[in-house]
Amino acid sequence: MFDLKGKTAVVTGAGSGIGAAITRVLAAQGAHVAAVDRDEDMARHVARDIGAAASPYRCDVSHAGDVDALFHALAAAHPRIDILVNNAGIAHVGTAESTTPDDMERLFRVNVLGVYLCARAALPLMLKEGGGVILNMCSVAALVGITDRFAYSMTKGAVLTMTRSIAADYVKRGIRCNCICPGRVHTPFVDGYLAKNYPGREQEMMKVLSEYQPIGRMGRPEEIAQLALYLCSDEASFITGAAYPIDGGVTAV
């Protein structure tokens, strides 16, 4: 099950956290994975750990020129692109009042425009070969209201609706498109956020953030990666246009 031998996958935001975990899991199942990150050193580090099954690429997904250059290079290096995981994204803490126009623009460019640009570049390559899979990283913030996440929630709502739109537009042409909606996941971003905003109180606030999930802890990147593997595999061939919560019970209570 979940055999990806002979397939090529592209994972954005692959340099750390969930993206790195997805890159490792897809490679372990036989795919050749293009590990894409705006920090080329981080992409190289992940690819080096994986070995021959991964290749590093630098790309800032918020810039059309970067994305076009990336997919031109990928098309030259690989006979086909089978899987695109739009994982690259940035977070923001703030309400409608405290969020600045610059904050909104920055979040939009990475989390929304980046998904659009990569999907737009990948779709013709997939269609040429008869189909493919696009998996977008969404969030429970697209499904429920979360305090202090105004701009972030806006972007993830857009990711959810883009996912469903792509699924509807390409369902007859061999392309499936789904999204994953994680709750809080323990990544380097969380550690950095706590160190910056709660110096000396990191453990206390980690407990608060963990208990937000009814299950009593944050998710692990590897758990998100296993769901990603399923949705990218042929075992999920009857699934498109779906949004999968993986949130420790947040949306259940």
Q: What is the C-alpha separation between 97 and 100, in angstroms, rounded? A: 8
Give me the catalytic one of 57, 152, 170, 244: 152
Write down all domains in the chain, each with its CATH number in brackets.
8-183+221-241 (3.40.50.720), 186-218 (no CATH)
pLDDT value at 189 more than 90: no
| Mean pLDDT (whole number) for 5-29 | 98
> Which residues, 6 or more positions from 104, have their beta carbon under 8 angstroms from its beta carbon?
151, 154
pLDDT band at 65; cut points 50, 70, 90 = very high
Residue 145 phi/psi, 5-degree rounding, is: -75, 130
| 109 within 8 A of 62, measured Cβ to Cβ | yes
Q: What is the C-alpha separation between 104 and 7, in angstroms, rounded? A: 36
Coil, helix or strand for 86?
strand
DSSP symbols for 149-166: BHHHHHHHHHHHHHHHHH
| Mean pLDDT (whole number) for 38-62 | 98
Coil, helix or strand for 212?
coil
| Mean pLDDT (whole number) for 47-56 | 98
pLDDT band at 193; cut points 50, 70, 90 = confident
Active site residue 116: no
| Mean pLDDT (whole number) for 148-158 | 97
Cα 40–chain centre separation:
17
What is the tens place of the pLDDT at every residue in 75-131? Answer: 999 999 999 999 999 999 999 999 999 999 999 999 999 999 999 999 999 999 999
CA atoms within 13 A on the CB side of 34: 27
Q: Is the pTM of this model over 0.75?
A: yes
> Which residues, 6 or more positions from 34, have their beta carbon under 8 angstroms from its beta carbon?
8, 9, 10, 11, 54, 55, 57, 74, 78
Terminal C-alpha separation, the chain: 33
